[in-house]
Amino acid sequence: MDFNEVCSFEHFRRVWSHYGYGSNLQDMIKEEFDRIKGITYLDHAGTTLYPQSLIKGFFQDMASNVYGNPHSHNSSSRLTHDTVENVRYRILQHFNTSPEDYTVVFTSGCTAALKLVAESFPWKATSTDEPGSQFCYLTDNHTSVVGIRVVASSLGAEALSILPGEVETRTKEMSQTGDQGCQVPHLFSYPAQSNFSGRKYPLHYVKGIKDRKLYPSCNREGTWFVLLDAASFVSCSPLDLQEHPADFVPISFYKMFGFPTGLGALLVRNDAAAILKKAYFGGGTASAYLAEEDYFVPKPTTSSRFEDGTIPFLDIISLHHGFEALNMLTGSMERIQLHTFGLARYTYVLLASLHHSNGNPLAQIYCDTEYEDPSMQGAILNFNLLDSHGNFVGYSQVDKMGSLFNIQMRTGCFCNTGACQYYLGITNQEVKSNLQAGHTCGDDMDLIDGRPTGSGPVKVAEESLKRLRPAAPPYTQHPLLLLPGGQSDSDRKREEWNWPAPKITSSGGEAVTVAARGMGVPGTLTNIFLYPIKSCAALEVSEWPLGPHGLLYDRVWMVVNINGVCLSQKQEPRLCLICPQIHLATKELSVHASGMNPIFVPLEGNNDPYLSKTVCQSKVCGDRVQTVDCGDRVADWLSKFLEKPCRLIRQSLDFTRYRKRGQERGESSVSLSLVNEAQYLMINRASIDLLQEHIIHRKGSGSHQHFDVQQLIDRFRANLVIWGKEPFEEDDWTNLKIGNTLFQKMKSGPHVPQVTLVFVVMSLVSKTVEGKRDDILYCSACRAIAEELNYSISQVDPKKTLPVGGFRLNPDGSLSDRKVPLARSETHLMELLEDVCNNMSDYALHLDPDTKEKHYKRFVPRTNDKSDFPNFKDFQFNGPEGSNSLKFACENIVEEFEDYIISLFAKEADHVADKLCSEISGLCKGSTSHHEEL
């Protein structure tokens, strides 16, 4: 079977009948998760996403009821108490148990639940009469479980790590001792599912350990208790505590529902609750106590003894709506398990089959199964990418590349060092050496001596719908090529790439002087760019004054969301369409965007009553900065254009931010605006030229996508563009002189306090850019818009109407109103245009086998569509790059021709695609066919 056909959604549905929950998932995604359109979210191991119905149900609950503090006795407090108790019962019911067997103790999360067990377990030190307690744990455990050993050891217990294979294999080597008189308590902890690999450990271990039939309990007298870490497991799998009665089960609800965060629980088996001894007592836990005497009597129930202070009762009440949404949308945890496992299994099969053109595998997958049984493997897929030579690609690079295409994943070791060491082959000594080399948990130091320090898993959840499409054929067309790390010799780089050095002739005077090679080397400053609003479009100038933080007014403003968090183009790509202008004469900043009237903001602030002058705090690259809000008018302008609430803030005039990097080496302090790390960014035009050659070399001369040099320069968002003689010679520079101003390269050279400069390090990222419009791309996008709109209109009941123009009172007192068909109403068409570009991922470049004509064509079948689809061999799948290009073109067309599109489709007009794409927009002029299939 053709690989592209294997990758199709249609094939996936044929081989996995458990996909979905018996309903139209497209509709469910649109209704419940519309906010993630354009994003591929794969970090469900970090947190799943809450459905809209959960929030709506919770809001209606909060708006309709008065919930008081449950420690009071009025009617609103009684309502809270009864509702919380009902939620406790609902939680136990979910895990097939009851209050007769288990108690729910609410905590701030899974880690707090584990800490509660650690501090309350009756650890016993070794004595002359009998051995002490043991805390045994699998090495494949979360950090929060391993941390229990510190508490246990401090109280005299022995901490013992167990390899996963030892639980059953070492049982065969040892026989259970028969002394049943020893009552020393021991604790064994293991995860129901590894948060690193998704491996599911046998739940029968619970009874096996408690009955002392498995290692290590078979080798140690005493009473054994089991702590089952179920946080990762219960997000997508059913847990039956009646069948597997673990003594302590910590969970986190945000991993199940996505909301609320900061709420977890410890499920305590009632028969084991009595052994837990708590020292501290807080509000609500005392039956009686004396302030002047050491007298305290705890409340009788387990939950009231361990829930110190007022519980987060509103968050707890929201869990009811979480269970309601889960059951309404999916039906059961068994359905969720099969749905998510099928997606993970299919992804595993496809990823394992991908190879470079030289036959080397594209990925190293970390797993113990082949994804054949959902009872043994969860919906987590962990891997590292490899280049064509078998070298690892750092997970930070993968993460950054994913972000460019709105793929959200998690990378690192995921707070599971034991599993990370096992799968990646990292020794204990290497962990210590990596720390000395500067690598700590959670940082982005992904490779040390060519070996990975972590990996990148993906996890799917109940709402996952992303259709599986071919990102590459089984053997990729070109080996993955990376810049050689840690090298600055430009000759060696050219030699490794096997390209001749381009000969660039400098023009102009001696504008550039390289101190490291002696003064007077010719060069030219070709462009000056500043970016008044961080992450928005550039402002190119021919000359510009310098300010205390770099170019005057460069990156002084930034757009933030309603929580004050800075927005970047990664989260909001439309920022690049916002064009700021600086008017030095009138001391104003003007902000422009297509379809919007420009708005003006004072450069330095004045007595304008519309400016709020609210002082606020924000963060830039980890630095806390003091800013001033620019007022409601510009905030409304931005919110309207970006279609989400946001505000414009600027750095406070009386606030100075200093660059921290280099201060530990005694380098001079440098004041910064809202830039990432230096006052100026510089790029070498010769290096860009070489990059362009590389892109053309990789894509082939026959590619329909062309990259002009200026487009590539724009991508790096540099302030200064220098035309050097050789590519990458800037790696060896230390200082740079432009006119009479001396710039110092960051991290090198003598201390020059005036200015610092960063030479942009280029990653070979061939992301589609818009410059000169690609005829095939834009014509196909236009016709795809027409096809999608026609299809959506055809799915609406023609009898449905929409009242327009208000109501009118007739002479007889009756009301009349004018109605239009809903399908072609302006309201409905505007709704369709909001989503139409998301469907561009269903299209791919198609080569007609007869005419050899290229255009984008739909390759994903629609629901109940029985028409014959073209042969997948005729499609060229370029992965996310191709679909993102088409989507970008689609968005540009919709933005530019929205009024024409609505006007055309509001009428029962024939050949609307031709009228829109050929006559009105001119995007398909000269097209030899109408592409009726589009």
Task: Supply the residues annotated as catalytic.
Answer: 415
Q: Of 134, 132, 125, 111, give the one whose Cα is nearest residue 216.
A: 134
On whether the CB atoms of residues 22 and 209 are closer than 8 A, the answer is no
> From CA 906, how far away is CA 901, in angstroms rounded?
8
Side by side, which strands form the sheet with 557-561?
A: 533-534, 557-561, 646-651, 623-629, 615-620
Rounded alpha-carbon distances, angstroms, from residue 550 to 182, 558, 645, 723: 74, 16, 30, 21
Q: What is the CA radius of gyration of the chain?
A: 32
**Alpha-helical regions (H) of 425-480:** 428-436
On whether the CB atoms of residues 338 and 238 are closer than 8 A, the answer is no
In this structure, what are the phi and psi dihedrals at residue 236, rounded to the nearest 5 degrees?
A: -135, 5
Q: Quick one: the chain helix, strand, coil %, rounded to 5? A: 35, 20, 45
In this structure, what are the phi and psi dihedrals at residue 246, rounded to the nearest 5 degrees?
A: -65, 150
On whether the CB atoms of residues 630 and 650 are closer than 8 A, the answer is yes
**Alpha-helical regions (H) of 644-774:** 685-699, 709-716
Q: Of 527, 502, 209, 199, give the one whose Cα is nearest residue 367.
A: 199
Q: Of 915, 849, 857, 854, give the one whose Cα is nearest residue 883.
A: 857
In this structure, what are the phi and psi dihedrals at residue 560, rounded to the nearest 5 degrees?
A: -125, 155
Q: Which single residue is written with the structure tokens 């829930």?
A: 307
> From CA 102, how far away is CA 267, in angstroms rounded?
6
CB atoms within 10 A of CB 179: 8
Contacts of 818 (CB under 8 A, 6+ apart): 803, 804, 805
Contacts of 26 (CB under 8 A, 6+ apart): 465, 863
Q: Where are the beta strands (DSSP E) in 361-518?
A: 363-365, 380-385, 407-408, 447-448, 451-452, 456-459, 513-514
CB atoms within 10 A of CB 474: 14
On whether the CB atoms of residues 414 and 255 are closer than 8 A, the answer is no
CB-side exposure of 97: number of CA atoms within 13 Å? 25
Cis peptide before 609 (omega within 30 of 0): no
- Burial per residue of 531-566, b for 16 or more beta-carbon CB atoms within 10 angstroms, e otherwise: bbbbbbbbbeeeebeeeebbbbbbbbbbbbeeeeeb
Contacts of 527 (CB under 8 A, 6+ apart): 540, 713, 720, 721
> In this structure, what token pair is assigned to residue 74?
């009025």
Cis peptide before 484 (omega within 30 of 0): no
Bridge partner list, 508: none
> From CA 612, how far away is CA 364, in angstroms rounded?
54
Q: What is the dihedral of CA 41, 43, 44, 50, to 10 degrees?
A: -50
> From CA 337, how far away is CA 96, in angstroms rounded?
16
